[in-house]
């Protein structure tokens, strides 16, 4: 039986709702809740605007911190970077001694997951500098295929993601290391690259048409 262990999800997406970051991180949080964790979540952008002290207090009080965010040019969104800077400063000032762990989940819109590696290294470095036990970083590509929908409702497309997070929950609850298979399953393709690219191109063309810019997609101003 867990002794009131707490988990906090920091959602790094600028979207206030229907973000893939919240969908994936929220699934992990909900499964931990089922195992007895006291769970909470904060949207980083909102927290920075409304109540930074609440953000800092909840981070310092949690047992497990989950950071879930979209990739922005090989890095974290600027709002999340700012939040981590404030958290790091606050923890050094208060000399936090509570044993805490951190997991990061980075998603991107490219077919490949490896684009997330630099951002996850940044999170690992943050954990080391701020006194968190680093449990690992999950890299996920093709995030556009999820588009904020609940991953447990998307069938075969996200079965590997669900399996990866279920493995992670079992490892955390039993105080074990997260198995390498979980990270591999999270990094696996959601769908064939050609299919994902085709769907992405079609969506791009549809949006351009809506704004009367379809012909501009083929512009070659420097030719």
Residues 105, 135 contacting (CB under 8 angstroms): no
Residues 55, 42 contacting (CB under 8 angstroms): yes
For the stretch 163-222, pLDDT in tens is 999 999 999 999 999 999 999 999 988 766 676 676 767 777 788 888 888 878 888 888
Average pLDDT over residues 29-40: 96
Output the pLDDT for position 21: 96
For the stretch 48-100, pLDDT in tens is 999 999 999 999 999 999 999 999 988 999 999 999 999 999 999 988 888 99
pTM for this one? 0.88
What mean pLDDT value characterizes the chain?
91
CATH superfamily for domain 6-190? Flavodoxin domain (3.40.50.360)
Pull the structure tokens for residue 139: 């890299």
From residue 89, alpha-carbon distances to 35, 85, 96, 148 in Å are: 32, 6, 11, 32
Residue 129: count of CB within 10 angstroms of its CB: 12
Q: Would you say residue 141 has pLDDT above 80?
A: yes
The domain spans of the chain are: 6-190, 192-223
Output the pLDDT for position 58: 97
d(CA 208, CA 50): 35
For the stretch 100-133, pLDDT in tens is 999 999 999 888 899 999 999 999 999 999 999 9
Establish how many alpha carbons lie within 13 A of residue 115's alpha carbon, considering only the half-sphere containing its beta carbon. 18
């Amino acid at each position: 039986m867990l002794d009131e262990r707490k988990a906090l999800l920091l959602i790094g997406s600028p979207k206030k709702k229907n973000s893939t970051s919240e969908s994936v991180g929220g699934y992990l949080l909900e499964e931990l809740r089922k195992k007895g964790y006291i769970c909470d979540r904060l949207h980083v952008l909102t927290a920075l605007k409304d109540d930074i002290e609440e953000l800092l207090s909840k981070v310092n009080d949690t047992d497990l911190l989950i950071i879930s965010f979209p990739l922005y040019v090989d890095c974290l969104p600027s709002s999340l970077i700012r939040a981590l800077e404030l958290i790091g400063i606050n923890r050094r000032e208060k000399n936090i001694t509570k044993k805490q762990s951190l997991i990061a989940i980075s998603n991107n819109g490219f077919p490949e997951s490896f684009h997330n590696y630099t951002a996850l290294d940044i999170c690992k470095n943050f954990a080391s500098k701020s006194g968190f036990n680093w449990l690992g970083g999950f890299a996920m590509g093709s995030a556009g295929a999820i588009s904020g929908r609940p991953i447990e409702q998307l069938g075969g497309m996200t079965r590997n993601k669900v399996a990866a997070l279920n493995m992670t929950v079992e490892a955390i609850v039993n105080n074990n290391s997260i198995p390498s298979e979980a990270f591999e399953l999270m990094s696996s393709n959601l769908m064939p690259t050609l299919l994902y690219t085709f769907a992405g191109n079609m969506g791009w063309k549809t949006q351009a048409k809506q704004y009367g810019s379809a012909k501009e997609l083929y512009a070659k101003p420097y030719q």
